[in-house]
Chain A
Amino acid sequence: MTDTLNQPPKNPERHSTFVPKEKKSTKPFHATPMLDQLESGPWPSFVTGLKRLAHENNMMVDLLGQLEHSYKTRLGYWKGGTVSVFGYGGGIIPRFSEVASMFPESKEFHTLRVQPPAGNHYTTKMLRQLSNSWNKWGSGLIAFHGQTGNIMFIGSTSENVQHFFDEVNEYGFDLGGAGPCVRTAMSCVGAARCEQSCANEHRIHRTLVNNFIDDMHRPALPYKFKFKVSGCPNDCMNSIQRADFAVIGTWRDDMQVDQKGVKEYVASHGRKYTIDNVIARCPTKALSLNDDDTLEVDNRSCVRCMHCINVMTKALKPGKDRGITLLIGGKRTLKIGDTMGTVIVPFMKMDTDEDYEKLRDLASTVIDYWAENGLEHERCGEMIERIGLAKFLEAIGIEVDPNMISHPRTSSYVRMDDWDQEAQKWIDRHQPAVA
C-alpha cells in the first residue's frame, strides 16, 4: 500500500480537498482567513466541506461568514426558540442567528434530530437517499452522529423542517428527542458482528425506546432520560457514565476457555508477557497460568471485566448463560456533580418475549416514579442521590442485593427500628436456596 499522504491527489476531483470551480450560489463569499487555516493538514477538513456546500447555496455562504465571525470574536451567535413539526413537541433544535443582519441567509439554521437504525447500520443506498432528501430541504450538512446518538441534519429554515420530516418519515425515519423527554438511544454493533456480545442489543434498544415514543416526541418529564445498550462490559456505548438507564450484556456461568488457544497464545507471546498482561491484570486475581500453559479460572471471583477476553480473543469468551445487568442514574456534572449508573438488577435473562416485557415494564416503572417524584431539571440519578437508593428500590419493587454496593455503610447515623423484619426478608428470600 503506498503512502498517499504526502503526494498530490491522483484524482483531485475525487478527493477530500476538492473545491468545485463552478459557483452556483449567488452570494459572494465572505473572507474567512481563520477558517482557511483549517483546510491544510492530513485530516479531512470540515471547512473544505462547508466551502463545497457554499458553492451550492447561499445559506452556507453566510453560515461560513458567521462561523468565521465566531472564530474572530471567540463567541457563539446562535439562540434557541420554538420550532416543531405537526404532532410533535420535540426533536428539532431551533437556531436563530443573533448576527442575522450580517449573515441573513443563515438566520434560521435549525437541526433535526433523527433516530438512526439500531447499531448505526446503513446501506450506501440509504445514506444517499437521506443525503438527497437533506440536500433538497436543508443545507446538505449531516453529522453522523451527535453525542446522544442522533443523525443530526444541520441547517434548515423553519418552513422546510416540516417538508424534510415528512419526506424521511415516509421512508421509515422518525425524529429523536430534545428537551425534557426520553432521548434517542444507542446500541453497539453487538451480536451483528462481535463475539463478545451477550445479548440482542438491537432488540433491547428498540424494545425500550420504541415503547416510550410518546415520552420522546412530547417532552413532559422532569429532564432528559437516556437509554444505552452495550453487549458486554466493555461498554462501547459508554452507558454507565452517560445513560440514565444502562443495559449491559453479561453472563453468570463460567467463561469459555479454549485451552488449546491459551497454549497457542502463550507460545506466540511468551510466558512472561502472558503473566504480566493477562494473569496479573485480572482485577480480582481470578486467573492463574498452569505449568503446562493452560489457564485456571476462579469463576466465582471473576467480575466479568472482559480484560483477559479482550487480550486472548481466540482463546477466551463469555460464558453461555447470558443476560444483562441494569444500571441506573449515570449523568455528567449538572447539577450535583457527576454520577455513574449503579447496579439495580445484577442479572436478568433476555431470552423470551416475557423477558423483554419484564424489562419494558421495569423501565416504565422507573420512568413513572421519576416523572412523579423528580424535581424540575433533576436527572433520575440525582433523584436517587436525594432520596437514597433503598427508598428508590422500594418504590420500583426491587429487593436489595449486595451486588448493588461497593461496600456496606460506614456511617452509624441511621435509624434501624425494623432491623428484624428486614433481616427476615433476606432469610425468607434465600430459604429455598438453603433447603
Chain B
Amino acid sequence: MAQAQVAVEKKQMRTPIESGCPDGMQYMHPLMVKNFGNWKYHDRPRPGVLHHVAYSGDEIWTVRVGTQRQLGPYEINLLCDIVDQYGEGYVRFTIRSNLEVMVSKWDKVGPLIQAFNDAGYPVGGTGNSVTMISHTQGWLHCDIPGTDASGVVKSLMDDLYTEFIKEEMPNRVHITTSCCQINCGGQGDIAINIQHTKPPKINHDLVANVCERPSVVARCPVAAIRPAMVNGKPSLEVDEKKCICCGACYPPCPPMQINDPVHSKLAIWVGGKNSNARSKPMFQKLVAAGLPNNPPRWPEVGAVVKKILYTYKKDARDWERVGDWVERIGWPRFFELTGLPFTKFHIDNWRGSRNSLNASTHIRF
C-alpha cells in the first residue's frame, strides 16, 4: 500500500516536457503541406465555401461550419464522424470558432454541407456574411463577469442565422461580446460590452486579508482609491465622485464588487476594424448604453444590434465595413438613421480626446 502510494507520488512529480506550440504541419491536409506557400488565387463558389487554387494546379475546397465553441465529446465525435465520412479527416478552427473542413474534390462539398445541416450545424460565415460572434467566458467560467457570453451569442446567432448562411452584407461583419470592460472579446464592427454604472460595493471585513492594497490603489485609472481604516480594520475607500465605475479594482480585489444585477448595463460600440484594408485599423466607438442585462435572451440588446446591422445593410455600399460606412455618411446621419439618441456621454473626455472632436467646418447637412 505504502509502495503503491510512492509510485503514485512519483508519477505526480513527472517533469513536464516543455514542447511549447506544436507544429501544425503534422495535422495539415496533405494538399496544404504540398502547396505550402504556393497558392495562386481563391474564390467563393457559394456562401460557406472557399476554393483555393495552387500554382501546381491542385485545388482545395473549405467548408466553414458554425459551432457553439464550447464542445463536448458528443459534438466533437459527431462533427468528426461527418468529417471522416464525407470529408478527408482534416480540419482547422478560425479565430471566430468556426470549424473549417478541407477536401480535395468539389464533388465532396455538397454531401458534406448536407451532412452538417442534417446534424443541425450551419454552413456559412464566409465573405460578406455576419460570421460567428467572438465571445468570452462569462458566467460559465470567468471570475469577474458582469454578464454571460455564450447566452448572448446563442440568442443573437439565432436571430442572425440567415445572415450567417448567406453573403448579403455590404462587407464582412464581425460582432463581439465582452462581459466586463476589459473587453476580451476585442474590437468589432458591432461590439456588445458590459458598462458598469455604479462604484464598487466594498466588503471592508475582507479587504485586508484578500487584497494587496498598494496594487489595488495603483490599478485605478483615475486615482480614486486610497487606503483607509474602516471599523478599525485596514481597508480601501473609493472617492465616488472620481470613480468611473470601470471595475479595474475588482480583479485584484474581489471584495470590491463591481457587478450589480441592475446597475451593470450593456453598451453597444460600432466601427472597430482590425484589417488594414482601405482605412487603417479603427477602434470601436460608443453608440448606445444603458441597456439592461436581461438573461436568458437579452432582447433589448438584440433589438439595438439588429437596428444597427440592418441600417448598415440597407445604407452601406459594397466593401464598406461598418466603420467605413459611418466615416462616409458621418455620425449625425448614423444617429439619425439608427434612431439612437446622441448624448454628452458620446463625447470622449479621456486622454487624447481632443483628437476626436471636429476641428473644422466639415459638417454634413
Confirm or deny: A217 has a beta carbon within 8 angstroms of a beta carbon on chain B: yes
Confirm or deny: B363 has a beta carbon within 8 angstroms of a beta carbon on chain A: no
On whether the beta carbons of B120 and A15 are closer than 8 Å, the reply is yes
On whether the beta carbons of A15 and B119 are closer than 8 Å, the reply is yes
Confirm or deny: A386 has a beta carbon within 8 angstroms of a beta carbon on chain B: no
Residues of B within 8 A of A313 (CB): 41-43
Residues of A within 8 A of B89 (CB): 123-125
Known contacts A42-B122, A127-B80, A376-B218; is A79 also within 8 Å of B143 by CB? yes
CB distance from A88 to the nearest CB of B (A): 6
On whether the beta carbons of A37 and B297 are closer than 8 Å, the reply is yes
Confirm or deny: B357 has a beta carbon within 8 angstroms of a beta carbon on chain A: no
Give B179's nearest chain A residue, CB to CB: A76
From B20, B113, B187, B246, name the one whose CB has the most chain A CB atoms within 10 angstroms: B20
What band does the interface of chain B fall in when counting residues whose beta carbon is under 8 Å from A?
35 or more
Confirm or deny: A234 has a beta carbon within 8 angstroms of a beta carbon on chain B: yes
On whether the beta carbons of B276 and A1 are closer than 8 Å, the reply is no
Confirm or deny: B338 has a beta carbon within 8 angstroms of a beta carbon on chain A: no
On whether the beta carbons of B91 and A281 are closer than 8 Å, the reply is no
Give B147's nearest chain A residue, CB to CB: A74
On whether the beta carbons of B21 and A210 are closer than 8 Å, the reply is yes
Residues of A within 8 A of B95 (CB): 145, 186, 188, 236-238
Confirm or deny: B323 has a beta carbon within 8 angstroms of a beta carbon on chain A: no
Confirm or deny: B57 has a beta carbon within 8 angstroms of a beta carbon on chain A: no
CB interface residues, A 190-206, toward B, < 8 Å: 191-195, 197, 200, 202, 205-206
On whether the beta carbons of B36 and A191 are closer than 8 Å, the reply is yes
**How long is the Cα–Cα vector from A276 to B319 in the complex, in angstroms?**
10
On whether the beta carbons of B93 and A111 are closer than 8 Å, the reply is no
Residues of A within 8 A of B259 (CB): 74-76
Comparing A292-300, A302-310, A415-423, the segment that makes contact with chain B is A302-310
**How long is the Cα–Cα vector from A247 to B26 in the complex, in angstroms?**
23
On whether the beta carbons of B102 and A213 are closer than 8 Å, the reply is no
**How long is the Cα–Cα vector from A209 to B21 in the complex, in angstroms?**
7
Residues of A within 8 A of B362 (CB): none
CB distance from A30 to the nearest CB of B (A): 15
Confirm or deny: B352 has a beta carbon within 8 angstroms of a beta carbon on chain A: yes
Give A75's nearest chain B residue, CB to CB: B259
On whether the beta carbons of B91 and A172 are closer than 8 Å, the reply is no
Confirm or deny: B209 has a beta carbon within 8 angstroms of a beta carbon on chain A: no
- Contact string, B17-55, partner A, CB cutoff 8 A, digits 1/0? 111111111111000110011011111000000001000
Residues of B within 8 A of A74 (CB): 147, 259, 261-262, 264, 293, 295
Q: Which residues of B contact A (CB under 8 A)?
A: 11-28, 32-33, 36-37, 39-43, 52, 60, 62, 66-78, 80-81, 83-84, 89-95, 97, 99-100, 102, 110, 113-114, 117-122, 134, 136-148, 150-151, 154-155, 157-158, 161, 181-187, 215, 218-219, 221, 246, 248, 254, 259, 261-262, 264, 272, 274-279, 281, 283, 293, 295-297, 317-319, 350-352
What are 23 A-B pairs with beta-carbon distances under 8 A?
A4-B120, A15-B118, A16-B68, A38-B155, A43-B154, A44-B66, A49-B72, A50-B70, A70-B139, A115-B22, A116-B22, A127-B76, A128-B80, A140-B73, A169-B19, A192-B32, A202-B24, A214-B18, A241-B274, A241-B281, A283-B278, A334-B221, A376-B215
- Closest 4 pairs between A and B when the two form their complex, measured CB to CB: A41-B158, A16-B120, A74-B261, A210-B20
